[in-house]
A and B are shown apart, each in its own frame.
Chain A
Amino acid sequence: MSKEGKILLEVKKCSKSFPGVKAFNKIDFNLYEGEIHCVVGENGAGKTTFIKMLSGALQPDEGTIEITGKEYLHLNPALAHQLGIQTIYQEISFAPDLTVAENIFIGNWPINRFGFINYAKLFSEAKKLLDNLKIDLDVEALVSILNIPQKQSVQIARAMAIEAKIFILDEPTASYGKNEIDNLLGLVKQCAENGVGVIYISHHLEEVFDIHDRITVLRDGNKIATHGKNEVSDEKIISEMVGRDVSKFYTRERVKIDYSKEIEFMNFSNGDTVKDVSFKAYKGEILGFGGMVGSGRTELFRLIFGADNRVSGDIVMEGKKVNINNPKQAINKGLSLLTEDRQKTGLILEHSIEWNTILVHLIKSGGPFINERKESKNVRHYIKILDIKTTNIKQIIRNLSGGNQQKVILAKWLYANANIVIFDEPTRGIDIGSKEEIYKSMVQLAKQGKYILMISSDMPELIAMCDRVIIMRRGEITVELNQKQISEENILNHSIGGTI
């Protein structure tokens, strides 16, 4: 322990289960006054569950949370706020048309004897607070004109103003540049010097090493270790983050890849979250895209699919340059995109299985009318081969399980006869049975000589399924791993910026 002092937070043997997963398993955790305690772990290690328990959004199944000496079985958002726990988001419900000073003291403005806001006092107090934190901002500026890092610092100032004791920062530097990261880290350190305890969660090891007093490593809902300042190397941290039971991985059938046929994706940029990304895909290959959540993978494939505006980017398909400016053109060129958020972007929830399955094919094929009999027959065919559990094809999608919903989306693209199939987190939140069904279809597609691209944050999935894995970080490709190089250590190391 590098910093001794008053204990602010003591989590004792806290557990939380979700159907089928132990998301948080008998974890002990504590936080001192003025300490920056970093939490690291792979996607799905339990970090989000932890934050939600501390901010009162989730209740632990067992264990206690002790805050400044008082014990609680669980918190709720109001209580967490009252106890001085503040979760700092990049953008939160600011009143954008009020000034920085008004936002900092929101709801607690100094008033004069007539009951109006005493602006002179408000501005001078806000100025004092910002100066103390070394934040360089005009207190009279409107929040709406600030950029995201500036808004975040206003939020931190506000948390200081209400004398919050515990700050939780979850991936606070996503999409930040180097200077902005340095500014934020400086600000966090300043807060700690003022006695605030900070829980800092990040995928970026260099940030963690810069800022930490202690580091706790989580894996699969378990606490693996807590290290003091400068007690540990990044190599060691990575080895603790990985180490899952490999025997449980799915074993796929290998397919011969035709390296004479390739698609080249060149220089994709959106000027923000995707920076000059180029790569090649081969016929019959399953190409994985690893990286942490927010590394720009989803954005990259939305650019490729023509769904968002790009700054640059070209596709050369088996020697021919193709021009894709919207999803319609992408579909006509044989692309398909199974999006990450099934309900928001993949399905029309109030309509039937049949409706959703035929959607793309319907628009792709000519003629003004729908041939219901023919369509129904084809839908039944896909229901059968994908083993979609339903009593009839008119069933409303909303009432299906996540796994079956995902299979309907897959059916939709199979029916559209796509040649390049992009899966974005294809098995997130679905049951094991459906997972295997989707893996099987994926291999089947590869066998048919299609190009398979899969974004996944599920490491076992990348390892089990992919012939090659490309890792992205902060909108750029950090490495391309061939089949022999694909390992948990390699994937993780390049995802979080380790130095092995």
Chain B
Amino acid sequence: MKNIFKQNKTITRWMNSGNRSVFYLLVIILLAMLAMSFLDPNFFTARNLFNVLNQQATLGIATMGVAIAMIAGCIDLTIGNVLASTAAIAAILLNAGVSDIWVIILTCLSGLVAGVLNGIIVVKTRVDTFIVTLGLMSVYQGIALIIPNGNNIYLQGRFVIFGTYRIAGLVPIPVIYFIIITIIAYLVMRFTKFGRQLYSIGGNPETAYLAGINLDRNKIMAYAISGLFASFTSLIVISRIGQSQPAMGAAYPLEAIAAVVIGGVVLSGGRGTIPGVFLGVILLGLIRNSLNILRVPSFYQYVMLGVVIIIAVALSNIGSNKKL
């Protein structure tokens, strides 16, 4: 009896320390998977599950960046267009005969620079981050068109392995990237002072400032990470489709924010966990996969996806203590 009580206390403590939404998400995901395995025997095969993960890996990596920024109270709407811009850079470099490793380094560097610039603009203008990055979104959309002169750039058979290789013929390499990046993001946000500072800034910027935290520098770093992850994502995408397109990544900002919020990060920042965001990404993928298996026409999928996002967020709110 005493033992049960103690166990309950541990669970309560775990739930309270920001894991509540992780718990709800796990329950929802398991229920969804259970339901799907009844409806379709093919659902619970390793191949299908890896496919779901593979489909979500690109969004997932970019989402980790968005999540880190949002935990610091910064919204980053630029990831989609940064992705398209760096994809064009990568494609041009590949066509110029630059070696793969240098393409990867230079592309990631350009994403990092874009992120740093975003961060500097955000902290210097002191305008709401949503508005500033909305403006920047359009800037990068322009850049994504200017760099390739509005054209798709084909990779001529180069750079295929980076995004399509399957380990042992089964595990897609992007899934490995996604998991590694998730683990790194988790470690950084959970165990480093940098992560702690981002949480503090999002939680209460005034308190953080008076505690000696450099708000500007940390925010710039958060945006830099977001830009870096977006550019890394672009490498996987071009590898998969064999070309760069100026319009790619358009749906990323909203889907990423949806996944982040479903994962339990609040829009104003300060709360939420990386495992939660990971599950948020997975849940979005599962829903899409389920709708495909159920042969729901894609037009209707958009509607249903929206409804599910709202329900998921509402459910995660029920668990929180806030009244308003």
In the complex formed, the residue of B with least CB distance to A372 is B191
Q: Which parts of B167-197 form the interface with A (CB within 8 Å)? A: 191-194, 196-197
Residue B16 is within 8 A (CB to CB) of chain A in the complex: yes
What chain B residues lie within 8 Å of A367 (beta carbons)?
Answer: 193
Which of B193, B211, B271 gathers most chain A CB within 10 Å?
A: B211
Q: Which residues of A contact B194 (CB under 8 A)?
A: 368
Say yes or no for B33: interface residue by CB 8 A criterion.
no
> If A369-B192, A394-B13, A394-B17 touch, does A328 touch B213 (CB 8 Å cutoff)?
yes
Provide 12 A-B residue pairs closer than 8 Å at the C-beta atoms, listed in order of the A residue.
Answer: A328-B214, A330-B212, A344-B206, A344-B207, A348-B200, A352-B17, A360-B211, A368-B194, A369-B192, A372-B191, A394-B17, A412-B211
- Does A370 lie within 8 Å of B210, measured CB to CB? no
Docked-complex contact A348 and B208, CB < 8 angstroms: yes
Is the CB–CB distance between B13 and A350 below 8 Å?
no
- Complex Cα gap A89–B66 (Å): 42
Chain A minimum-CB-distance residue to B270: A350
**Which residues of A are in contact with B by a Cβ distance under 8 Å?**
305, 307, 327-328, 330-332, 337, 339, 344-352, 355, 359-360, 362-364, 367-370, 372, 392, 394, 396, 398, 412
Q: Verify A394–B16 contact, CB threshold 8 A.
A: yes
Tell whether B209 is near chain A: CB-to-CB under 8 Å: yes
Bound: A360/B211 CA distance, A: 5
Q: A367-B193, A369-B192, A370-B192 are in contact. Are A348 and B16 (CB under 8 A)?
A: no
Q: A359-B200, A363-B212, A396-B16 are in contact. Are A348 and B192 (CB under 8 A)?
A: no
Q: Which residues of the partner chain A approach B196 to less than 8 Å between Cβ atoms?
A: 355, 359, 362, 370
Known: A350-B271, A359-B211. 4 other contacts (CB 8 A): A327-B211, A331-B212, A344-B207, A369-B192
One digit per residue, 1 when the CB lies within 8 angstroms of any chain A CB and 0 when it does not, for chain B 228-249 equals 0000000000000000000000
Q: Is the CB of B191 within 8 A of A348?
A: no
Output the nearest chain A residue to B266 by Cβ-Cβ distance: A350
Q: Is the CB of A363 within 8 A of B213?
A: yes
**How close is B148's CB to chain A, nearest CB, in angstroms?**
39
Q: Which residues of A contact B214 (CB under 8 A)?
A: 328
B14 (CB) vs chain A CBs: closest residue: A394
Instruction: Kindly count the residue-residue contacts between A and B in the assembled complex, taking CB atoms under 8 Å apart.
Output: 80
Given contacts A307-B209, A337-B210, A350-B271, contact A362 B204 (CB under 8 A): no
Q: Assess whether B16 is in contact with A360, with CB atoms less than 8 Å apart.
A: no
How far, in whole Å, are A370 and B271 apart by their CA atoms in the complex? 18
Cβ < 8 Å to A, chain B residues 42-93: none
The reply to whether A347 and B17 form a contact with Cβ atoms under 8 Å apart is: no
Instruction: Answer whether residue B252 sits at the interface, using C-beta atoms and an 8 A cutoff.
Output: no
A346 partner, pick from B13, B16, B207, beta carbons under 8 A: B207
Known: A327-B210, A352-B17, A363-B213. A369 touches B204 (CB 8 A): no
Determine if A370 and B13 form an interchain contact, defined as CB atoms under 8 angstroms apart: no
State the CA gap A181–B78 with chains docked (Å).
51
Complexed CA–CA distance, A363 and B17 (Å) = 22
A348 partner residues in chain B, CB cutoff 8 A: 199-200, 203-204, 207-208, 270
Closest 6 pairs between A and B when the two form their complex, measured CB to CB:
A348-B203, A328-B212, A331-B212, A348-B204, A345-B206, A360-B211
* Chain B residues near A332 (CB-CB < 8 A): 212
Q: Are A345 and B207 neighbours in the complex by a CB distance under 8 Å?
A: yes
Chain A residues with Cβ under 8 A from B207's Cβ?
344-348, 359
Residues of A within 8 A of B211 (CB): 327, 331, 359-360, 363, 412
Contact B193 A307 (CB under 8 A): no
Q: Report yes or no: A307 in contact with B203, Cβ–Cβ below 8 A.
A: no
**Which B-chain residue is minimally distant from A331 (CB atoms)?**
B212
Are B206 and A368 closer than 8 Å at their CB atoms?
Answer: no
With a cutoff of 8 Å between Cβ atoms, the chain A residues found around residue B212 in the complex are 327-328, 330-332, 360, 363-364
Q: State the CA gap A25–B108 with chains docked (Å).
A: 70
Tell whether, in the assembled complex, residue B200 and residue A305 are in contact, meaning their CB atoms are under 8 Å apart. no
Q: What is the bound-complex CA distance between A349 and B197, given in angstroms?
A: 15
Partner of B193, one of A337, A352, A362: A362
Distance of A348 Cα from B17 Cα, bound (Å)? 14
Query: Residue B203 contacts which of A344, A346, A349, A360 (CB distance < 8 angstroms)?
Result: A349
Q: Report the Cα distance A346→B207, complex, angstroms.
A: 5
Q: Within the assembled complex, what's the spacing in Å between the Cα atoms of A307 and B210?
A: 7
Residue among B193, B210, B214, B271 having the largest count of chain A Cβ atoms under 10 Å: B210
Nearest chain B CB to A319's CB is how many angstroms away? 25
Instruction: Check A345 against B210 for contact (C-beta < 8 Å).
Output: yes
Residues of B with C-beta under 8 A to A370: 191-193, 196
B-chain residues with CB within 8 Å of residue A360 when the two chains form the complex: 211-212
Separation of A347 and B204 alpha carbons in the complex (Å): 7
A364 vs B194: C-alpha distance in the bound complex, in angstroms?
12
Does A339 contact B210, Cβ atoms closer than 8 Å?
yes
Interface 0/1 of B266-289, CB less than 8 Å to A: 000011000000000000000000
Chain B residue with minimal CB distance to A398?
B321
Most buried by A among B191, B212, B213: B212
Residue numbers in B under 8 Å from A345 (CB-CB)? 204, 206-207, 210
Q: Residues 207-224 of chain B: 1 if any A CB is under 8 Å from the residue's CB, otherwise 0?
A: 111111110000000000
Residues of B within 8 A of A347 (CB): 204, 207
A392-B204 contact given A307-B209, A307-B210, A370-B191, CB 8 Å threshold: no
Residues of B within 8 A of A364 (CB): 212
Inter-chain contacts of A394 with B (CB < 8 A): 13, 16-17
CB closest chain-A residue, reference B203: A348
Q: CA separation between A345 and B208, bound complex, in Å?
A: 8
User: A351 with B210: in contact, given A367-B193, A369-B193, A394-B13 (CB under 8 Å)?
Assistant: no
Q: What is the minimal beta-carbon distance from A245 to any residue of chain B, in angstroms?
A: 36
Contact across chains for A368 and B192 when beta carbons are under 8 A apart:
yes
* Bound Cα distance from A347 to B203, whole angstroms: 9
Closest beta carbon of chain B to A372's beta carbon, Å: 8
Complexed CA–CA distance, A360 and B213 (Å): 8
Q: Bound state CA distance, A352 and B191, in angstroms? A: 15
The answer to whether B16 touches A349 (Cβ under 8 A) is no
When C-beta atoms are compared, the residue in chain B nearest to A338 turns out to be B210
The distance from the CB of A349 to the nearest CB of chain B, in whole angstroms, is: 7
> Judging by beta carbons under 8 Å apart, are A369 and B13 in contact?
no
Report chain A residues within 8 Å CB of B193.
Answer: 362-363, 367-370
Give Cα A355–Cα B16 distance, bound, in whole angstroms: 14
Chain A residues whose CB sits within 8 angstroms of the CB of B17 once the complex forms:
352, 394
